[in-house]
Amino acid sequence: MSATASDSIMETGTFVNCFLLVISLVIIPVNGGYDKERDALLKGTFPQDFIWSSATAAYQIEGAWNVSDKGPSVWDTLAHQDNNRDTGDVACDSYHKYPADIQLMKQMGLKYYRFSISWPRIFPTGEQQDGVNQDGVDYYNNLINELKANDIEPMVTLFHWDLPQALQDRYGGFLNNHTTNTTVIHDLFGDYARFCYQNFGDRVKYWITFNDPWIIALEGYGIGNFPPKHRDPAEGQYKAAHNIILSHAKAYHIYDDEFRAAQGGQVSIALSCDWGDPKYPDDPDTVEAAERYVQFFVGWFAHAIYKNGDYPDVMKATMARKGREEGRNSSRLPEFTPEQKAYINRTSDFFALNYYTTVEVADSGHIVTENPNYFSDMDVEKGHAADWPQTPFTWLYTVPWGIRKLLGFIRDEYGDPDVYITENGRPDHDRDPAILMDMDRICSYMMHTNEVMKAYSLDNVKVKAFTAWSLMDGYEWLPGYTVRFGLYYVDFNDPDRTRYPKASSVFYKQLVRNNGYPEGSDFTKYVENMWYFCHNTTEAEVNGYTGGASQISSPFSLFLAILGVVCCFID
Ligand code: BGC
């Protein structure tokens, strides 16, 4: 796709098209899963200091996988294991193009950027004693300085899945000696965190220790699809999670003891969670099963960190029973010592939440199996309602009201913390021609941010931030470049990795500028017109995906809607 083509699309707007948009949307019938009361548009704004942000992760965008002394990470290893696999070798080449990326954020009016530091770019083997890669340190210093020069606050994740390969080889990564107090991996993570606080903490005020430990533990050490591909579905995820929680606590205490007074920042851990909605809400067993699902998911980490230093009671009881039924001497869920519980308890300054989807949960009764795993351990059945819009990911259905319910759960369960939404987004397929008119993504951001506003204004959840995942298309882990999450399109066939604005970046800019959905604004009027369309559309219709049922009455309406987006928001 050429820049000229994209420019001409972006210049198409006229008042007439805006008018047609409105007319066309009026004739789209309401159907699908729309619930008039639950899904109504709330007008209003977020508080003045609300944080609008976008996020990326090092391995997904940086490239430069082996420049200077950078060491390989477990993702470099996996990506190079077979020739057919996409790699992050170049990715978006953000290592070289970061100043341009910062301008993309500026164009959208963003004041915050969440990115991650690559541990093996700083310490090639993961251990400081083996040497520091000064070029890597310079890179992050330059990135942070450039952000600050552009009035953008960095929020820095220390670990977004790219474990130094040497730590996996030497110590078994997060499986290292998980039951003792003196596990090497905790100390090494602590050293790395300390180095980052020392070198960047004068300018970085928001730290995230781990991104989505649920995935690291489950996919990396239980199911074994993600690197380091350790397959031990019965126990691996529980051992790894145990170590991650302790490593997080270590990094938190180091900040607290050595840096907080001078640097005045905050530290958290980004937890992902599906909302678990009871399939039969009037049935107490189903309601319990749905709660169990959420406790096994976010509670696995959050209960210890926010409540009492230990795993949720329901998780401990279920796992103890399973252990007995399986004839084991102890539960497959490890135990924290009293000292460890005290050490872990309350090691977060705010709740960092990644939300993507909701599942419908029912009670499965006690699952007895010779091959126990994390999902059978929960004793639930999970699925989705037939009218939830599907995305290219089989696990990701667009269920905006789920984020409001989850935020309510967090408020009640974890003592009403400040909540920063550190990721929310929506994928589409990699297609030719490129999808620049990403209506699905616009709809998704529109609906999710409105539900977040309901949580803030109606439910009094202390939501402080919304972060769009992602600033630009990147390396989407196992699916590589076949799935795109960006507000900006990246042409991965172009040696320059040119970025192009998608319509969603223009929408996001207006959302940020309006700080929500103020009564009477042109933006809110546009949103009102789009509201029913968004609630009754799936990727099947908008982007031509053939895997789902169409609900759009008129392709002409869709065409006009797209034109309307272009003309209403380009300035
Ligand atoms: C991860 C991102 C990833 C996204 C979609 C999130 O949990 O943090 O790195 O791109 O899921 O798969």
Secondary element (H or E) of residue 541: helix 539-542
pLDDT in tens, 449-487: 999 999 999 999 999 999 999 999 999 999 999 999 999
Ligand 1 center to residue 244 CA distance, Å?
Answer: 18
CB 10 within 8 A of CB 489: no
Q: What's the average model confidence in pLDDT over 131-143?
A: 98
Binning pLDDT at 50, 70 and 90, where does residue 564 land?
low
Bridge partners (DSSP) listed for residue 380: 363
**Would you say 246 and 253 are in contact if contact means Cβ atoms under 8 Å apart?**
no
Under a CB-based contact definition with an 8 Å cutoff, are residues 162 and 212 in contact?
Answer: no
The angle that helices 439-457 and 401-413 make with each other, rounded to 10 degrees, is 30
Mutate to test the pocket of ligand 1, among 157, 354, 398 (most ligand atoms within 8 A of CB): 354
- In sequence order, what are the beta bridge partners of 210? 159
Q: How confident is the model at residue 182 (pLDDT cuts 50, 70, 90)?
A: low
426 CA from centroid of ligand 1 (Å): 10
Torsion of CA 307, 313, 318, 319, to 10 degrees: 60
Pocket perturbation via mutation, ligand 1, pick of 226, 423, 485 by most ligand atoms within 8 A of CB: 423
Task: Tell me which of 86, 116, 158, 212 to substitute to probe ligand 1's pocket, judged by most ligand atoms within 8 Å of the beta carbon.
Answer: 212
- Phi/psi for 60 (5° steps) reads -75, -20
Rounded mean pLDDT of 552-567? 51
SS3 569: helix
Distance 557 CA to ligand 1 centre (A): 32
In the chain, what's the furthest Cα-to-Cα distance? 74
Tokens linked to 437: 């008119």
At 535 the pLDDT is 85
Residue 215 Cα: closest atom of ligand 1: 7
pLDDT of residue 32: 43
Q: What does the pLDDT read at residue 78?
A: 97
How many Å lie between the centroid of ligand 1 and the Cα of residue 356?
Answer: 9
Least reliable range by pLDDT among 8-22, 87-101, 168-182, 317-331 = 8-22
What local confidence, expressed as pLDDT, does residue 541 receive?
A: 45
Structure tokens at 418: 């400040």
Whole-number mean pLDDT of the chain?
A: 90
Numbers of helices and strands, H then E, in the chain? 23, 17
- 521 C-alpha to center of ligand 1: Å? 33
Out of 387-391, 503-507, 518-522, pick the least confident.
387-391
9-21 residue pLDDT tens: 333 333 434 543 5
Residue 390, pLDDT score: 87
Taking only the tens place, the pLDDT of each residue in 367-413 is 999 999 999 999 999 999 988 988 999 999 999 999 999 999 999 99
CA-to-CA distance for 230 and 162, rounded, in angstroms? Answer: 15
CB distance 353 to 422 below 8 Å: yes
CA of 57 to the centre of ligand 1 (A): 9
Q: What is the pLDDT of residue 117?
A: 99
Picking from 547, 531, 561, the residue whose alpha carbon sits closest to that of residue 34 is: 531
Cα–Cα distance measured from residue 328 to residue 336, given in angstroms and rounded to the nearest whole number: 19
Closest ligand 1 atom to the C-alpha of 272?
A: 7
pLDDT attached to residue 387: 86
Give the residue, by CA position, lying nearest to ligand 1 atom 9: 57
- pLDDT per residue as tens digits for the range 405-450: 999 999 999 999 999 999 999 999 999 889 999 999 999 999 999 9
Between CA 230 and CA 220 the distance in angstroms is 6
Cα separation of 269 and 348, whole Å?
A: 7
Window from 9-23, 83-97, 258-272, 349-363 with minimum mean pLDDT: 9-23
The answer to whether 422 and 208 have CB atoms below 8 angstroms apart is yes
DSSP annotation of 213 reads: H
Give the mean pLDDT of 270-294: 98
Determine whether 229 is exposed, middle or buried from the number of CB atoms within 10 Å of its CB (0-12, 13-18, 19+).
middle
183 and 243 in contact (C-beta within 8 Å)? yes
Q: How confident is the model at residue 356 (pLDDT cuts 50, 70, 90)?
A: very high
Substitution site in 422, 485, 487, 490 for ligand 1 pocket (most atoms within 8 Å of beta carbon): 485
What is the C-alpha to C-alpha distance for residues 403 and 397, in angstroms, rounded to an integer? 12
Residues of the chain above pLDDT 70, percent? 87
Q: Is the pLDDT of residue 6 over 60?
A: no
Average pLDDT, integer, range 142-147: 99
- Tell me how far apart the terminal alpha carbons of the chain are, to the nearest angstrom: 22
Q: Which atom of ligand 1 is nearest to the CA of 476?
A: 10
**The pair of three-digit structure tokens given for residue 220, joined into one six-digit string:** 């990396």
Query: Quick one: average pLDDT of 241-257?
Result: 98
Cα–Cα distance, 85 to 291 (Å, whole number): 38
Pocket of ligand 1 from Cβ distances under 6 Å: 57, 60, 211-212, 215, 272, 354, 423, 476, 485
Q: What is the pLDDT of residue 545?
A: 41
Q: What is the pLDDT of residue 559?
A: 56
DSSP element (H, E) containing 484 = strand 483-484
Bridge-based pairing of strands 51-55 and 351-354 is unpaired
Please name the residues in contact with 49: beta carbons below 8 A apart, sequence gap of 6 or more: 464
Residue range 92-99: mean pLDDT, rounded: 98
Residue 548 has pLDDT above 60, yes or no: no
pTM for the whole thing? 0.92
The two three-digit tokens of residue 532, written as one number: 């029913």
